[in-house]
Amino acid sequence: KAGVTQTPRYLIKTRGQQVTLSCSPISGHRSVSWYQQTPGQGLQFLFEYFSETQRNKGNFPGRFSGRQFSNSRSEMNVSTLELGDSALYLCASSLLPGTSGRAMPDTQYFGPGTRLTVL
């Protein structure tokens, strides 16, 4: 079956603009997580959605937001872009979220990511 798809794959924006990234999970998967990956900070958790509800959120400013639709597709939005937002944004889907929140989400399948460059 098809894997996780992310669109667009590459994006160039300027400071102050906003951006919306899209993620389509594997068919049947209801949990979608978003991560930011940079050379300096590594892979950092942004948020997790399950059944259209945000279940968990990382330590990112409110400029980073997301949502999930009834078909499990998810979008994340970054407003007022800063140079430091340049990163690879990864989406991961899983059948279920982490058990009681103490574990990593159930087997996560990552998409190829969206490479965002902020000039």
- Whole-number Å distance between alpha carbons of 102 and 92: 18
Q: How far is the CB of 15 from another protein (least distance, A)?
A: 26
Instruction: Name residues whose C-beta falls within 8 Å of residue 103's C-beta, 6 or more positions apart in sequence.
Output: none
Of 33 and 72, which CB lies nearer to another protein in the complex structure? 33
Q: How far is the CB of 90 from another protein (least distance, A)?
A: 5
Of 75 and 109, which CB lies nearer to another protein in the complex structure? 109
Q: How far is the CB of 68 from another protein (least distance, A)?
A: 17
CA atoms within a 13 Å half-sphere pointing along the CA-CB vector of 77:
10
- Whole-number Å distance between alpha carbons of 23 and 68: 9
Of 20 and 37, which CB lies nearer to another protein in the complex structure? 37
Interface residues with another protein (CB under 8 A) are 4, 33, 35, 42-45, 48, 56-59, 90, 92, 98-99, 101-105, 107-113
Query: Between the CA of residue 20 and those of 49, 53, 67, what are the distances in Å?
Result: 16, 18, 11
